[in-house]
Chain A
Amino acid sequence: MILQALAFYLFATVLLASGVVVVTSRNPVYSVLFLILAFFNAAGLFVLLGAEFIAMILVIVYVGAVAVLFLFVVMMLDVDFAELKKGVQSYLLPGLGIGGLLFAELIIAVAAHWHFAPHAAPAAATPKGITNTQALGHILYTDYVYYFQAAGLVLLVAMIGAIVLTLRHRDGVRRQKAWTQISREPSDAMALVDVKPGEGVE
């Protein structure tokens, strides 16, 4: 138990600290790297909760794919950091105000009306007898399969939309047609001619 408590405080402290560095760092590459560290520690917290599947998916999807794209973009951009930092000064007060308001609302909501729905109690992270992954599978693919399919459809539409928006056909681009190359026979490309002496090739 003491190990779990130590691990929790370690993950939580590093998560919060790296979250602060993400916002305050002067170099955007550092921001992304600390964002990755934050994702990692969040995954650690999920593991402590017994939700190991979500922890691994968090690392695979966010750290392994999304943050790589962030890093790509940030490393290739040539951003003027001093220019960006000017904005922080002028928006600091309204930003703090909105943040404080949201935080106060959250506190009020949690303090006043926060309780679990009666049928939500069995949906613990690790139900008895089955693993966390199987429990998630039951919920997603058996109990709420139509909602899951609907969500998938929305994502599919979004994906098609993104492809349609960025797709452009350029003329005059010569692409490699591997099948044409492989299926080419010697007889398509050359002919053997028996040349008689002194006559030459027609």
Chain B
Amino acid sequence: MFLTNWFQHTAGLPYPWAWTLAQVILIVVYQAVVMVSVAFWILADRKIWAAVQMRRGPNVVGPFGLLQTFADAMKFMFKEPIIPAAANKVIFLAAPIIAATLAFAAWAVVPLDEGWVVADINVGVLYLFAISSLGVYGVIMGGWASNSKYGFLAALRSAAQMVSYEVSIGFVIVTVLIFAGSLNLSDIVRAQGPDMRGWYIFSPLFPMLIVMFISSLAETQRPPFDLLEAESELVAGFMVEYSSTPFLLYFLGEYMNIILLCALMSIMFLGGWLPPVAIWPLTAVPGVLWLLAKIVVLFFMVSMVKAFVPRYRYDQLMRLGWKLLLPVSMLWVVVASAWVVFVRPVWGPFFAHLFGG
């Protein structure tokens, strides 16, 4: 790596320290880029809803309202943080920090391009799954520590919801692993090469993309599954008592998780950094731009869902998760295994022309 070499040879540091320093700089820059990009995702979200509702959306701060999110973030930071008198102060402040930290930590294993990954670990998918299953702690600790019954009820609701939908996400991941034969995210992308015929969206795994999309909406508490902030029932969710920077951290973490799941779906089903057709002008485009384009498409769909789907009732949500998505994804684990074992060896060369298989 360039920075490690520079520190080792030009600055004359021993290798472990040079490596550590280079990693720290890389991580800080990466996280800063991700965090600034969140500002524009939020703006895009608001602009899309505005377009659906025939409004103009944020358009005052900066050209086309581009700086609106930065203005909002400044406003939150300079407000007074209010901690309720009966709250458990340590956990109350730790919960949003945990939520935001986990959202940042997950990005470490996301490959942006061939070799563009902070930690290229063998169990990348499991790491992402573990981090996203920890997101529930930010919610449940915040709801409990604020010592408010609405906050606590919302925390219980959303914790139950996140735990339920994680199960089907887990099975979707298993089907993709069976097809790709690896837990490494870069290897999963490589297994879908070289062009869109290999992507898992054009394979028997297509239904799993739908299951994954719906579960992602539920996992990140997006409408139509935003029951934790059903304002007619629960005031505003588990973050009722939060203000100023702690609230900002929750908000940041929530959006980073949405984009993370969009990135995960792009990597698992849409071929990550691979171009749709492997011919010259398209292969010259940097892979990170292809990944970004795929994330934008998925994020647009997530945003549109919020604009025109009404909120589910709680028992309907549980029914959908446990009685529909879970059995379908479990069945598909069997289907995918059978495909890989029986169909692919026989029909592999034939299907390779149609789709990678």
Residues of A within 8 A of B (CB): 1-3, 29, 33, 36, 52-53, 55-57, 59-60, 63-65, 68, 71-72, 75, 131-133, 176, 178
Q: B10 in the interface, Cβ–Cβ < 8 Å? A: no
Docked pose: A132 CA to B183 CA in angstroms: 11
Q: B140 in the interface, Cβ–Cβ < 8 Å? A: yes
Docked pose: A110 CA to B134 CA in angstroms: 37
Q: B163 in the interface, Cβ–Cβ < 8 Å? A: yes
A68 B121 Cβ-Cβ under 8 A: no
Docked pose: A64 CA to B132 CA in angstroms: 9
Tell me which residues across on chain B come within 8 A of A29, comparing CB atoms.
91, 144
A64 B144 Cβ-Cβ under 8 A: no
A64 B319 Cβ-Cβ under 8 A: no
- Could you say which of B25-33, B35-43, B122-130 contacts chain A? B122-130
* Choice from A1, A53, A71 contacting B140 with Cβ under 8 Å: A71
Tell me which residues across on chain B come within 8 A of A71, comparing CB atoms.
137, 140
Tell me which residues across on chain B come within 8 A of A131, comparing CB atoms.
122, 183
Q: B166 in the interface, Cβ–Cβ < 8 Å? A: yes
Count the A-B residue pairs with Cβ separation under 8 angstroms: how many?
Answer: 65
Tell me which residues across on chain B come within 8 A of A55, comparing CB atoms.
123
* Choice from B16, B91, B140 contacting A68 with Cβ under 8 Å: B140
Tell me which residues across on chain A come within 8 A of B170, comparing CB atoms.
60
Query: What distance in Å separates the Cβ of A197 from its nearest Cβ neighbour in chain B?
Result: 41
B133 A60 Cβ-Cβ under 8 A: yes
B130 A176 Cβ-Cβ under 8 A: no
* Choice from B123, B136, B315 contacting A52 with Cβ under 8 Å: B123
B159 A59 Cβ-Cβ under 8 A: no
| Shortest Cβ distance from A63 into B: residue | B134
Docked pose: A3 CA to B123 CA in angstroms: 21
B319 A178 Cβ-Cβ under 8 A: yes
Docked pose: A25 CA to B126 CA in angstroms: 32
Docked pose: A38 CA to B137 CA in angstroms: 15
Tell me which residues across on chain B come within 8 A of A63, comparing CB atoms.
130, 133-134
A53 B16 Cβ-Cβ under 8 A: no
Tell me which residues across on chain A come within 8 A of B152, comparing CB atoms.
75
Docked pose: A132 CA to B129 CA in angstroms: 18
Tell me which residues across on chain B come within 8 A of A75, comparing CB atoms.
140, 144, 152
B134 A64 Cβ-Cβ under 8 A: yes
**Given contacts A59-B134, A72-B140, could you give 7 more A-B pairs where the C-beta distance is less than 8 Å?**
A3-B16, A36-B137, A53-B123, A57-B126, A63-B130, A64-B166, A176-B319
* Choice from B16, B122, B133, B319 contacting A132 with Cβ under 8 Å: B122
B20 A68 Cβ-Cβ under 8 A: no
Residue-wise, chain B 283-315 has the 8 Å CB interface mask toward A (1 for contact) of: 000000000000000000000000000000001
Q: Which 5 pairs of residues, A with B, have the shortest CB-CB distance?
A: A64-B133, A56-B126, A59-B130, A131-B122, A60-B130
A133 B183 Cβ-Cβ under 8 A: yes
Query: What distance in Å separates the Cβ of A82 from its nearest Cβ neighbour in chain B?
Result: 19
Q: List 16 A-B contacts (CB under 8 A).
A: A29-B144, A33-B141, A53-B183, A56-B123, A56-B129, A56-B130, A59-B130, A60-B129, A64-B136, A65-B133, A68-B140, A72-B159, A75-B144, A133-B123, A133-B183, A176-B316
